[in-house]
């Protein structure tokens, strides 16, 4: 994502410098103003992409700053964030009514919340996400649906169908990644260590040459967080840089989100070429999936870009494909049969199902599904 310019308006020098330093670490260009009047001048003169204001600024009320910025054509569309030590609902309400997009309380979690909010307000531009390799997201409404296993196995099948293609898998399942244990990866590199690197180091060339290839699986892997404590150190502001660099380096980028839908991952879903939605056959998961589909629709995710897979991960019980389609009011693109102990056996030996059991009917389904997903992703990309 190209460098963005952020204006920080705060009369507390220590607080202002701290926020500016944290933003600079995320590769943002930062402008500082120590008063409300100075903040207005800088906003109208320097055209920042986003403005952060402490409403307790000494010379002008934060609400007045917001009103004046929103009333001026030069700054009317610039996102505004209130970062305040005042947590009263009265102040929150008055700031939002004045024109602030978000209100964040100064606390131990303020930096993390601020990063998440900035990423959501900036989002990922459509032009950027339409460049480079095809982006396919793997998502589910509930854990235990086999999302990560399907992601890894379909990645292999895409490469079997297109031997010359380059494909990277990014594990964004939080708080603990799940792809590494499936493919047998035990290296130190992961999404947390990579986002901690300086932006100038994580170039497309770096990802092209430094991501480990998973031997028999053939794809390159950027593993997920190894444990919950590490996930707390994830610099979410760098994720978009990582994704765009991966897209510049690979023909396909598959991102496993699992059930980790959040403000961090939503922009990726909104701009993906294809969203592979994994559904299990129990009624509770189908019900949650219906809620998830309605939410994605409200966020602009078109149904044409969603590829649904009904995965009978647990056993032969549960809803049929027809039942699930009726409940969800959508077409199920692919129904995976119950694979019994074979799937668990392949996973425990870190081997792709299609290679371990090439004569199994499911191996053919994996092959055909991979072809269908790629064709649909290409169709969505071309518009």
Q: Please check the confidence at residue 282 and state whether its pLDDT lies above 70.
A: yes
- Same CATH topology for 5-122 and 127-382: the answer is yes
- CA of 139: how far to CAs of 70, 151, 235, 256, 298, in Å? 37, 9, 21, 7, 17
Q: What region does 350 belong to: left with phi over 0, alpha with psi -120 to 50, or beta?
A: left
Q: What is the pLDDT of residue 189?
A: 97
Contact present, 86 and 44 (Cβ < 8 Å): no
Q: Where does the pLDDT of residue 43 fall: very low under 50, low under 70, confident under 90, or very high at 90 and above?
A: very high
Q: Which of 267, 323, 311 is nearest to 140 (CA)?
A: 311
Q: Please check the confidence at residue 327 and state whether its pLDDT lies above 90.
A: yes
Q: Please check the confidence at residue 1 and state whether its pLDDT lies above 60.
A: no
With 0-12 / 13-18 / 19 or more C-beta atoms within 10 angstroms meaning exposed / middle / buried, residue 186 is exposed
What's the residue count for the chain? 383
Collapsed DSSP state (helix, strand, coil) of residue 254: strand
**All structural domains of the chain with their residue ranges:** 5-122, 127-382
Q: Which of 260, 212, 214 is nearest to 239 (CA)?
A: 260
Average pLDDT over residues 44-49: 94
| Rounded Cα–Cα distance for residues 91 and 96 (Å) | 9
pLDDT digits (tens, 9 = 90+) for 283-302: 999 999 999 999 998 888 99
| Rounded Cα–Cα distance for residues 129 and 126 (Å) | 5
Q: Which of 154, 153, 158, 173 is nearest to 350 (CA)?
A: 153
Q: What is the pLDDT of residue 241?
A: 82
Average pLDDT over residues 344-372: 93
Q: Please check the confidence at residue 315 and state whether its pLDDT lies above 70.
A: no
Q: Which of 284, 236, 288 is nearest to 259 (CA)?
A: 288
Q: Please check the confidence at residue 314 and state whether its pLDDT lies above 70.
A: no
Q: Please check the confidence at residue 360 and state whether its pLDDT lies above 70.
A: yes
Q: pTM to 2 decimals?
A: 0.73
DSSP conformation letters of 261-276: -STTTHHHHHT-SEEE
Pick the CATH number of 127-382 from 3.40.640.10, 2.60.40.10, 3.40.50.300, 3.20.20.140: 3.40.50.300
Collapsed DSSP state (helix, strand, coil) of residue 302: coil
The answer to which of 139-148, 211-220, 339-348 has the lowest mean pLDDT is: 339-348
Average pLDDT over residues 154-162: 97
The answer to which of 20-29, 54-63, 310-319 has the lowest mean pLDDT is: 310-319
Collapsed DSSP state (helix, strand, coil) of residue 375: helix
Q: Is the dihedral of CA 144, 330, 255, 343 positive or negative?
A: positive
Q: Please check the confidence at residue 97 and state whether its pLDDT lies above 50.
A: yes
Non-local (6+) Cβ contacts of 9 within 8 A are: 33, 35, 36, 38, 39, 42, 51, 52, 53, 54, 57, 65
| Rounded Cα–Cα distance for residues 330 and 349 (Å) | 36
Contact present, 373 and 150 (Cβ < 8 Å): no
Q: What is the pLDDT of residue 316?
A: 62
Q: Please check the confidence at residue 148 and state whether its pLDDT lies above 90.
A: yes
Percentage above 70 pLDDT, the chain: 96
Q: What is the pLDDT of residue 40?
A: 97
Q: Where does the pLDDT of residue 87 fall: very low under 50, low under 70, confident under 90, or very high at 90 and above?
A: confident
| Rounded Cα–Cα distance for residues 366 and 157 (Å) | 7
Q: What is the pLDDT of residue 223?
A: 98
The answer to which of 31-40, 160-169, 254-263 has the lowest mean pLDDT is: 254-263
Average pLDDT over residues 191-200: 91
The CATH number given to 5-122 is 3.40.50.2300
Count CA within 13 A, CB hemisphere, residue 90. Answer: 0
Average pLDDT over residues 144-167: 96
Q: Please check the confidence at residue 338 and state whether its pLDDT lies above 90.
A: no
Q: Where does the pLDDT of residue 236 fall: very low under 50, low under 70, confident under 90, or very high at 90 and above?
A: confident
Q: Please check the confidence at residue 311 and state whether its pLDDT lies above 60.
A: yes
Collapsed DSSP state (helix, strand, coil) of residue 286: helix
Q: Which residue has the higher pLDDT, 180 or 58?
A: 180
| Rounded Cα–Cα distance for residues 198 and 316 (Å) | 49
Q: Rounded mean pLDDT of the chain?
A: 91
- CA of 178: how far to CAs of 63, 169, 200, 357, in Å? 45, 12, 28, 22
pLDDT digits (tens, 9 = 90+) for 104-139: 988 888 888 888 788 777 755 566 667 899 999 999
Q: Which residue has the tokens 């930062």?
A: 30
Q: What is the pLDDT of residue 3?
A: 73
Q: What is the pLDDT of residue 129?
A: 67
Contact present, 36 and 57 (Cβ < 8 Å): yes
């Amino acid at each position: 994502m190209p460098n963005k310019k952020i204006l920080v308006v705060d009369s507390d020098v220590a607080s202002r410098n701290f926020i500016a330093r944290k933003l600079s670490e995320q590769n943002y260009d930062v402008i500082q103003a120590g008063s409300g009047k100075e903040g207005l001048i800088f906003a109208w003169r320097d055209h920042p992409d986003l403005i952060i204001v402490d409403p307790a600024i000494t010379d002008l009320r934060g609400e007045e700053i917001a009103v004046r910025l929103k009333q001026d054509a030069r700054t009317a569309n610039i996102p505004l964030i209130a970062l305040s030590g005042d947590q009263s609902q009265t102040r929150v309400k008055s700031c939002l009514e004045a024109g602030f997009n978000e209100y964040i309380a100064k606390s131990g979690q303020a930096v993390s919340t601020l990063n998440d909010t900035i990423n959501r307000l900036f989002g990922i531009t459509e032009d950027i996400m339409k460049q480079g390799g095809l982006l396919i997201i793997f998502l589910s409404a509930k854990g235990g649906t086999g999302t990560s296993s399907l992601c890894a196995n379909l990645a292999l099948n895409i490469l079997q169908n297109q031997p010359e293609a380059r494909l990277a898998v990014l594990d964004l399942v939080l708080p603990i990644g799940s792809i590494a244990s499936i493919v047998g990866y035990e290296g130190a590199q992961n999404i947390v260590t990579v986002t901690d690197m300086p932006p100038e180091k994580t170039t497309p060339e770096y990802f092209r040459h430094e991501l480990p290839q998973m031997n028999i699986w053939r794809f390159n892997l950027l593993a997920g967080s190894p444990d919950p404590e590490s996930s707390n150190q994830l610099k979410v502001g760098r994720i978009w840089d990582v994704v765009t660099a991966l897209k510049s380096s690979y023909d396909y980028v598959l991102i496993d989100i699992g059930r980790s839908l959040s403000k961090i991952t939503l922009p990726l879903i909104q701009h993906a070429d294809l969203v592979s939605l994994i559904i299990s056959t129990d009624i509770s998961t189908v019900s949650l999936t219906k809620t998830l589909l309605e939410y994605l629709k409200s966020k602009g995710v078109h149904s044409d870009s969603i590829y649904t897979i009904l995965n009978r991960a647990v056993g032969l019980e549960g809803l049929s494909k027809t039942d699930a389609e009726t409940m969800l009011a959508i077409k199920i693109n692919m129904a995976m049969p119950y694979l019994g102990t074979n799937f668990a056996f392949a996973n425990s030996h870190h081997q792709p199902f299609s290679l371990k059991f090439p004569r199994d009917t499911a191996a053919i389904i994996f092959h055909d599904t991979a072809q269908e997903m790629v064709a649909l992703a290409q169709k969505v990309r071309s518009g």
